Every structure is written in C-alpha cells, then in structure tokens.
Structure 1
Amino acid sequence: MGLRRHLHRHPEPGIRALMSTATPTEVGLLLAPGFSVGSLGALLDVFRALQELETPDLKMSVFAAPGTQADDWPYPWPAADLPPALPERIRHWFVIGGPARLPDPQHPLYHLLATGSRYACWAGIAHGSLWLAATGLLDGHEATLNTPEDEYLPWLGRVRRCARVVCADRDRFTCLSNSAARDLGLAWVTHCFSAALANQVDSYLLAERTPTERAPFTASRHLPDSLREANSLMHSNIQEPLSADEVASLVGVSRRQLERWYKEYFNSSPARYYLQIRLEQARHMLLNTHLSIAEIAVTTGFSSPAHFATCYRKAFGQSPSAARQRPSR
C-alpha cells in the first residue's frame, strides 16, 4: 500500500485517538534499516480497525535509529530515536523489516534487541524476523525466516524453522514477507484478545478494500459471522487452498449460500476472491523475497509454475519474471 493512500485512510484525529487512549495496551514499533512502509501501513491498518470497531484501546510508539531509511519510500519516516533501553511498560514489540538482508551486529537496534526482555511479546515482519533471531529473541521458538545468503549463521540453529508464510508460536510472531504484515497483525490480535475479534478486523479490512456498492465501513460491521470465518479460512490456507465446497462445509453453510454472500458483499465468487488473495500474496513475495518463482508458486497453492504464470499474467498484465525484473513501487 502506497504512503499517500495510507495517509489518506489514517486522518490525524484517528491516529491521535489511537495513540492516546486512557487505559491502553502499549505497542512498540521498531523500524529496521530498509524497512517497508507498505508493511508498516498494513500493520497500522490492523491497529486502526481495532479503533474503528471500538475494541481494545492501544497506545503506539514508533522508534528508529537516526537516519533509518525505508526501502520503498524516499523520505524519512517520523519516529522517535531508539531509547537506551526498551521501556518496560511496553510488552508488545514489532520489528518492521523489508527485503531480506542480514542484521548488522554494530547497529544500535541490534544492541537494543540483544537486551530485550524474553518475557515480552515479539513480532518480526519480513527481515525484522532475522533481527529477532540474531539477537536470541526467537531461541527455542518456531519461526519463518527468509535468509538472503547461503552462509553459516550460528543463531539459525537456535530457531525451529517453519515453512508457513505467517508463524505464531506462543508469544512470538513472524512472517516471511511484507505482504503478510496484516495477517501477522491478525495473529497477534487472536493471541492478545480473541479469534472472534481477529475475524471481525479481517472482515472489516477486506470489505474496506474490496469494491462494493455498500459503504465499506458499514458493510464490514454487518458481514455474517460465517462469511468472516470463510475469509479467515482463505487467508489461513494459502499453500493448500480449500475448495468452495470445503469452505462452505467448514463454516456451516451451503455452497450456494456462500456464493450468494460473495456476490452480495464483494461482487465476486468464492473462487475468484480466493484466487486474488493468493495472487496478491504471490506478488508481494515475488517483489520482497529471494524465493524462486517455482517456490512462490508452490507456497501460494498453484499446481505448477506454468499455471501460476498464466494466472499472474491475467491478473497483473505481466509475467512473474517480468515483475521481478522491473518491480513497481
């Protein structure tokens, strides 16, 4: 998501309210060198949805070392300087990364994380997960990591690698690419609050982004519970997609009813909607990871690289290889 669109959808009064609630859950965001503004915006969308839905109060603080530059935005991002030590009052930390690169042990963020509390809740987006792993905050936990180089990294042996795009293990959350930041945020909401609230936030954001004749915010608040569950199932089963019949059965409705809902709320069919979710995931992995096109095809549930390329070209007007050669900003 571009910065202009992000700022348009986050007016200053809303941001001020989000950051100044009376009895908040305090959240800290740490911007790693080369972080992605797109992934930061996706995570902020989750926090904003919590506010719009009048659910748990949040207080958010953003920190970065002086001169920290985003990978996908040419201007400085407003953030407080990294503190000498992480404030103990903040128990939920997100390290916002970007394209895969190894952490610098001489960077101030590295030293700060190395002294971070193992008892806090930690989340890493894209290469933000590598910062957590390198500083010991993922020791003994399952995590998804995208390492950019084939070299010996001793700290990788202390982490149990998983192949999922988003991995949640107790109070540790990691995601493979920038595009999965929203899903990581939803996993955090599930952990800290409830799965029902995460489904509500998910449906809220889906309805807001999907073309529909309904007012987006109103529509999101009135999505049937079973439709919210269907959306959540689709996002949770990218690598091994479910059939429309399976989705309908799992949420307890008929396939025909599911099709009516997707037509009514999203002007789509379950199959087309599901395919678009997978293609968007593939597109972001293509532009933000070092995985091969064949690996991305498998990870996003396509039967072959050729089938993936055909679907991708139809959706975005160019082949996966062309998109990787000339990524759009």
Structure 2
Amino acid sequence: MTMTDLRQHLLEGGVIPALPLALDSSRRLSPDHQRAIIRYYVAAGCSGIAAAVHSTQFAIRSPEHNLLRPVLELASEAIDEALLRAPRNFVKIAGVCGHTNQALEEARLCRSLGYHAALVSMAAWKTGSEAEILDHCRRVAEIIPIIGFQLQTAVGGREFSVSFWEQFVRIDNLVAIKVAPFNRFQTLDVVRALAGSGRTDVALYTGNDDNIVVDLLTPFSFGTGDGARRLWFSGGLLGHWGVWTHAAVALFQRIMKERGLSALDPSLLTTAAQVTDMNAALFDPAHGFSGCIPGILEVLRRQGLVPTNLCLDPSEVLSPGQAEELDRVCAAYPHLTDDGFIAEHLASWRSG
C-alpha cells in the first residue's frame, strides 16, 4: 500500500478493532484461536486491525513472554491469508511503545513484517518534556507512517497542551490520530489543532469507547485563519470493537449513511447510550478499568473464539459482578451483539 493509498484508505474510514490475545489454559499463545479472531474481523467487514496494542497486552514485550514478534508475525500473515479469499484495501497497524530506542526497534520490526502504520504510545513518557516527545514521534515517523495516540490518563496516558497537538499535527509522516482521552475537552484540543493546521491528509479516529456513536455523528466546526473548517471522525480504532464486531460494522455503515442526510434519526442517540452502557460492562470503569481486557476476552470466550479469558498477568481478571453485567447488556441489547454471525462461521474460522 503506497502512502497515498494509505492516507486515502484511512480518510475513507471504517471499523478497526484492537486485537485481543488468545491464550490457552496454561497462558500460552493459542495460534489457531488467534487466527480465528482475525478471520472473524476480516469476515465482519473491518477496514483494518491494530495488533500489539493495549488489548493485545503490553506484557507480550516482556522477556519472560517474548511474544511481540510471534504475535505481530502471526497477525500479519493471518490477515494476508484471509484477504486472499476476498481482496480489498485493509490497513495493518502495530502498536509501538517505550522510549525512543525501544520504539525505533519496534517500528523497524513492524515495517519488516508488512505493517502499514504504527500507533505510537506515549505512555512511557511520564516526565519528559513535550519537545522531547515530539522529537521521539518524528524519529519513529522516519521509519514508518505513524498514528498519533491521545490516551486517557486513567489508564496511563498523559495530558498534553494544545500547543503540543498543534505541533504534532504537522509531523510529515503522520497519517491519522486516535483520539481516546475519554474527555470532551481534550478531544476538542486535538480536533481543533488539526483544523487549524489546514491539513486534509490526516484522518481522525475515535478511541473514546465511552462515546463512540456521538463522536462519529458529530460534525466539528472551528474558525481558522482561512475561515470555518469542518471535520469528522473517519472511523474508530477501538478495543470495544474487538467484540460484537459484525454488529459494529453494520452500525458504522448506518452512521455513515445518516451523516449524508439533512436530518439525524434521533434513535441513533438512543443507540449511542446503549453502546456506552455495553462498554461500561465490557471495560469495567466501576473498578478503574481493571477488568477491561478480561472483559473483552470473556465475550470472545462465550462465543467460542478464544479458549479462556486469561491474561498474561494472573492478576488481570474479571471484576466482581462484571460477568453479570455482561449478561445484562447482552440480554438488553441483542441487536448490538453478533453471536449468530459467529456461530454460523466459527467452524470454518477455526479450521481454515
């Protein structure tokens, strides 16, 4: 995929799930289940997949597990294999973490394995200056096109100034920004910075799992030196979309159609609240998001896509009452789940 094709594909928008990690009862990677998840996402109609990100568990990088290359390699090959059956544009994104030396090494690995862009985490920079972080991102962008990442502070992100984002959006090899502060004020900081830059080749993707539908429905308008500028989120790059993905694609397509109409169907705002309610059960904000990754895995386990809801860290488990909350939202909003779609295709995804 050329840089022009990559930019166009991201601007056209779509559903990009964050890839969960499939582990067996011994907490070892289960390649067959990992491939099944990827086949599910491709069959569901996603426009890309993000691997080696939060949902994939940052611990894959630790020496005791040493899973970064195996997971990235498996995911890249499984995506290519799935697309052979129905070729289309599809973006492969890999998370890049750590300080500069680690991030550059990971960026080179991602590029060598066929990934098109790197989602750059800045969570490791707790005390560095904004100038240092900008330089860090520019250096990664010299190796591979980058997607910026505004991460909520509750799970390790850092709040940046408006000036930071005004400079960040001018990085040459920037192709998109994942906006995920779970905070409307900070969301506006990024969108306003991009509007003021005048750039039309950088896509915005919501990572606000607590506000997915409203982000996608909102036309953001800001005054600039060249007059009013209107921006939309092109799509979403979301942990929430790692489950119920077929239904998420259908909802995304409906939202895209609504954006072209003169009047909004108010039932979409009801759906927006329902999706947020589902995310509360999935991401576990009631316990500081501690059950987020196990929650994703539990849904996939119930559907037969993974064998367990285990994480590499034994302390990461479902929170008290979280399983019951998942029961509740699945029963309350069956139109936002996709158990039937998975049941119909699961045998072929597991055996293909």
Q: What TM-score do the two structures reach when normalised by structure 1?
A: 0.32
* Greater relative CO, 1 or 2 (CA 8 Å, sep 6+): 2
